Chains A and B, each alone.
Chain A
């Protein structure tokens, strides 16, 4: 079975940094994805980690520790448009299992 945990909500100030943690216990593992989903819209791809370590892409970075079953998504220099849900997803046998998502609210 799959067990993917992430916080339900986080609030941060514009310009700040927020770290969204994700822990997982799955029967198989081919990699970990982060998706962004704005209210009423489809999820869109943010990042992918298959090896341990940090992947940086502009203001967003994602970290993976396979031995600990742990990942985080780091959002830097927060902007109002970053207010969205962030979904952690584990690739298990080429099918993604998603966490419930973390709603990030950015305040001025």
Chain B
């Protein structure tokens, strides 16, 4: 593994189903983030974690939950998917407490029907 790995790459999901997007990093970064990207709206922060064991809400957290049991993994869960959650989801990481660049995963394209 090099950098950030997201899975699945692409998924079609029926409305009302539960879905977990996985994110794993091997850079030992303390901070991790989940963004969604929609046409015309850019990247919007869903949830973040500054260190293992802590999480915080971003700009658009409703309908999503996260956990940070360890440094490397930061899964994003949609408890009951809705069509408005159709988007491309990017996981990212950085060194917490410092202004540093974000390293992004390759994205997960989710379609909710």
Contacts and interface: CB of A to CB of B under 8 A. Distances in A.
Interface of A: 2, 8, 30-31, 33, 35, 41-45, 48, 50, 87, 89, 91, 94-101
Interface string B97-113: 11101111111000000
Interface residues of B, number: 26
A30 B45 contact: no
Nearest to A35: B102
B42 A98 contact: yes
Contacts of A42: 90, 104-107
Given A42-B106, A97-B59, A91 B42 contact: no
Contact of A45 (B45, B59, B102): B102
A99 B42 CA distance: 6
B40 interface: yes
Contact of B99 (A41, A50, A98): A50
A101 B99 contact: no
29 contacts: A8-B40, A31-B99, A33-B101, A33-B102, A35-B102, A41-B107, A42-B90, A42-B104, A42-B106, A43-B90, A43-B102, A43-B104, A44-B104, A45-B102, A45-B103, A48-B101, A89-B43, A94-B96, A94-B97, A94-B99, A95-B33, A96-B33, A96-B43, A97-B45, A97-B59, A98-B43, A99-B42, A100-B40, A100-B42
Contacts of B103: 45
Nearest to A32: B99
A42 to B, nearest CB: 4
